[in-house]
Homo-oligomer: A and B are copies of this chain.
Amino acid sequence: MMSEHVYKIVKLVGSSPDGIEPAIDNALEKASDSVRHMRWFEVEETRGHIEGGEVAHYQVVLSVGFTLDD
């Protein structure tokens, strides 16, 4: 966590068929439309859906911190 600011933390769920990091990317990309000044994230849960015995897509639940004061 960076310092000397007031942050708000939002919780997001992102998803991707390609892996955990792409699921993080998708959550951040979508959120960046409405949430500016995102500074850090934390992965709260890693999960996914299975079809035909294989991973159909990964899901990550993220806490994302952004500055209120910029």
Contacts and interface: CB of A to CB of B under 8 A. Distances in A.
Interface of A: 1-15, 19-21, 24-34, 38-43, 45-50, 53-59, 61, 63-65, 68-69
Given A13-B7, A47-B1, A53 B32 contact: yes
B56 A49 contact: no
Nearest to A34: B68
Given A6-B12, A6-B15, A12-B9, A1 B59 contact: yes
B10 A8 contact: yes
A3 B68 contact: no
A4 B64 contact: no
A25 B48 contact: no
